[in-house]
A and B are shown apart, each in its own frame.
Chain A
Amino acid sequence: MAPFAILFAFVFILPIGWAVYSSFFRQIAEGGGAYGGGKLVNKFVGLQNFQYAITSADFWTGVGHVLVYTVIQVPVMIIAALALAMVVDSFVVKHVTGFRLGYFLPYAIPGVVASIIWVYLYNGQISPIVKGLAAIGINVDFFADNVVLLSMANITTWTFTGYNMLIFLAALQAIPHDLYEAARIDGANGWQIAMKIKLPNVRGAALLAMLLSIVGTIQLFNEPQIMATADPGISKSYTPMMMALNTSQGTLTPSGDGPASAIAIVMALIAGVLAMLYTLAERKVNE
């Protein structure tokens, strides 16, 4: 227990405590004049940082980006993962191992690397996709203001569909095969078995995958951070997580650890509330 407690305190309790503590302070100059006397003081400002985060239009725009992203990306990915798992699990497909590995492979590529690769593929000047589409008369700009969020969602979907498929596949393979046999004797065809037996049995796994995905997408950071190189229109506060980092580094004002911690804490609370609502809704459905 002791090793756990020490590590837990060091990497978990301590940072959280420190973040909460610093969220009550802000660095300001008190020396007066144009340069504040060349000294910043860490001043206790009460809840001012939280007030800033909650009333900041940029913050809520960021939250908006993340929510739209979640609402579009998570269902698409879960349905795709479920469909893939069903196909792999069905008797149609031989060599299951190969397909399983193939679909899972994108997950083995770190998110940042995946984003860099996709930025190349989105790039109007060098992308074979853009050029190919242009050749058949479709001109797309993957970085256009209303498209860029979908371009990010595509990267995440590409990375995580295989991962979620594995969760579903494990759930599917845990279903006793007697059920299928019984269904067949009763005259059910493959489609009916999938819809009436398999689908209800993987509901638990689906809800888990949804929850993890929602928590993951709320933290959206890698994709917009990397894509900002190619599209400077992605602002420093595009998502709340980017806003927190850039606030702490001084490229957003007010800057410093105080406001940055406040943003992070407010966002953690929002994510917590969302996850809680989701669990409650899910329990209701299960009853």
Chain B
Amino acid sequence: MIRNRLITGLAAVAALGMGLAGCGTEGTSNNTASNTATSSNEVVNITYMHRLPDKAGMTLVNDIVAEWNKANPNIQVTATKFDGKASEMIKKLETDVKAGTAPDLAQVGYAELPEVFTKGLLQDVSAEASKYQSHFAAGPYSLMQVDGKTFGLPQDTGPLVYFYNKAEFEKLGITVPKTQSELIETAKKAAAAGKYIMSYQPDEAGNMISGLAGASGGWYTVKDNAWVVNTETAGSKAVADVYQQLIDAKAVTTNPRWDTSFDATLQDGSLIGTVAAAWEAPLFLDSSGGTGAGQWQVTQLGDWFGNSGKTSPDGGSGVAVLQTSKHPAEAMKFLDWFNTQVEGLVSQGLVVAATTEDAKTPKDWADFFGGQDIMAEFKTANGNMGDFTYMPGFSAVAAAMNTTAAKAADGSGKVSDIFSEAQKTSVETLKNLNLSVAQ
């Protein structure tokens, strides 16, 4: 009896572990594109996989696509939503490309593009892309490039900006700080009154801290076909210094961004200012539960990190053409149209990369942010964005940064450790991928 149980138990352990590794051969057979060359009246089928929110009240992706399909009988597009995290979607695309069932177009984050390219999942569409280059902002367009080749078109951007509660600021008699010393002084003053004008978010360190540091200058450059990694730049040191001072003075909240405790600090009104990515605006509305509605404002980052207030991308995605696509030209034609559907994409909560028309601030966002045209503010931030090259395998670096960042939050580590950990993990990751690293 016990022995049978033992075997069952062992089997359970084994099956669990192996199930993790063994899965992934399932694929959608939605790539029905014909292999033959297409003459003018033959119908080309394009499949597109995205991770857009598609919530009630938004213009649904399928509705936007239906409009295209109606106008373009020869290029019929099917969009599928992937429910899951970016890392899971990459895993799926990887298996699908191997199995030949991958979609033609897939949403890929800017930070993940080099990784996906190294995995061999992308198709070089430089020639097609250059036709549409003028429709998009230059920074995001370059983020869809790896090694001088273009693999798709940018969709949205996530410049870092500053959200603050203007009414609360006025009550405390403070203004948005302009310099580093002003920032720390103001934060201390607010903290003395039980309010916080900055948040340190350990679970976003890999994106936000790297973004803030990267605004002063990149971490990864390619020299003679080898990676030069330097994550401990002057920009990184400035960011570490500011946050360390704020943490030491207990003048900053340290709740993880995606934990309910962060929402709680917004709802009880103690957090009255934070650095945030532009795409956070609609999520911020949800997190706040309506507290401070109409009092919040968006403004540019001050000169807090020794780079005269330059900003940098935190997140943001484009859509790439996958390696197995048989119809890259048609796919790109649709993609250019789709990524310039400004109104529909804005309704999905995106700060669009397209420059073909000015995005209008949706009414509920404007209501929350005191009637401000925040889209215009985001556009300014977009123009103030430094470019940041990501290395392949950056997700491992970001994960390691988050864990280290948490140690600085509870005092068992320092903020500067984040950057030394990033250096170590970056080099290790590149070496494990068998890519050249310059010493």
- Residues of A in contact with B (beta carbons under 8 Å apart): 11-12, 14-16, 18-19, 22-23, 27-30, 32-36, 38-40, 119-120, 123-126, 141, 144-145, 207-208, 211-212, 215, 218-219, 229-236, 241, 244-246, 248-255, 257, 260-261, 263-265, 267-268, 271-272, 275-276, 279, 282
Contacts and interface: CB of A to CB of B under 8 A. Distances in A.
B129 interface: no
Contact of A250 (B18, B227, B396): B396
Contacts of B202: 232-233
A154 B114 CA distance: 42
B10 A268 contact: yes
A250 B407 contact: no
A192 B167 CA distance: 72
B203 A261 contact: no
Contacts of B14: 16, 264-265, 268, 272
B428 A253 contact: yes
Contacts of B433: 27-29, 36, 40, 253
A264 B118 contact: no
A16 B18 contact: yes
Which of B12, B17, B120 has most A Cβ within 10 Å?
A: B17
A259 to B, nearest CB: 9
Given A251-B87, A264-B21, A275-B10, A229 B259 contact: yes
B174 to A, nearest CB: 24
Contacts of A229: 203, 256, 258-259
Nearest to B425: A253
10 contacts: A15-B15, A15-B18, A32-B225, A120-B260, A123-B260, A215-B12, A233-B407, A265-B14, A272-B10, A272-B13
Given A34-B147, A246-B399, A264-B14, 8 more contacts: A125-B260, A233-B403, A233-B409, A251-B87, A257-B21, A264-B21, A265-B18, A268-B13
A229 B122 CA distance: 32
A279 B18 contact: no
B432 A255 contact: yes
Interface string B75-114: 0000000000001101100000000000000000000001
B116 to A, nearest CB: 10
Contact of B6 (A252, A253, A254, A279): A279
A244 B410 contact: no
Interface of B: 1-3, 5-6, 9-22, 24, 87-88, 90-91, 114-115, 117-120, 122, 146-147, 202-203, 205, 222, 225-227, 255-256, 258-261, 264-265, 268, 392-393, 395-396, 398-400, 402-403, 405-407, 409-410, 412, 425, 428-429, 432-436
Contacts of A215: 9-10, 12-13
A254 B393 CA distance: 10
A248 B409 CA distance: 28
Contact of A245 (B15, B20, B90, B412): B20
B403 A34 contact: no
Given A34-B227, A232-B405, A211 B17 contact: no
Contact of B434 (A30, A120, A211, A252): A30
Contact of B429 (A119, A253, A265, A267): A253
Contacts of A234: 403
Contact of A233 (B12, B410, B432, B436): B410
A40 B412 CA distance: 39
Nearest to A236: B399
Contacts of B22: 14-16, 18-19, 22, 261
A144 B411 CA distance: 11
A264 B20 contact: yes
A260 B147 contact: no
Nearest to B265: A125
Nearest first, the 7 closest Cβ-Cβ pairs linking A and B are A264-B17, A233-B406, A19-B18, A15-B22, A254-B432, A28-B434, A215-B9
B393 A145 contact: no
A174 B279 CA distance: 63
Contacts of A32: 225, 436
B200 to A, nearest CB: 11
